[in-house]
Amino acid sequence: MSTPILVPSVNSSSQPLKVSLWLTHAGEEVASGDRVVELLIPGVTFDVEAPCAGRIVSCECQAGAEVTTGMVLGWIEPLNSETDLDWNPED
């Protein structure tokens, strides 16, 4: 089951929040905590981190899109620890 990448709570509720750019693309693998998307409040940028390790399966909000706290930015298909992390092609 895919895990959402959500817009985190930001202290500046009166300022518009926009997607600045994606630092990853659909199909790329990420580790938990990797920076995946950059958000912009006028004058300030900050990064949203991957909530889990896995593969980016979709980027729902493109650059320039206005977003709000809790909105889904994209989706990650989590790694299955039994098949993906322990897989060894020589076994």
pLDDT digits 0-9 by tens, 28-79:
999 999 999 999 988 899 999 999 999 999 999 999 999 999 999 999 999 8
Separation of alpha carbons 22 and 25, rounded Å:
7
What is the model's pLDDT at position 12? 60
Report whether pLDDT(27) > 80.
yes
Q: Which two tokens stand for residue 45?
A: 């940028």
What is the model's pLDDT at position 24? 95
Report whether pLDDT(87) > 90.
no
Query: Long-range CB contacts (< 8 A, 24+ apart) of 27-35?
Result: 27/55, 27/56, 28/55, 28/56, 29/53, 29/54, 29/55, 29/56, 29/79, 30/54, 30/55, 30/56, 30/76
Report whether pLDDT(86) > 50.
no
The dotted CATH code for 3-85 is 2.40.50.100
Q: Provide the residue ranges of all domains of the chain, joining segments of one domain with +.
A: 3-85
Report whether pLDDT(91) > 70.
no
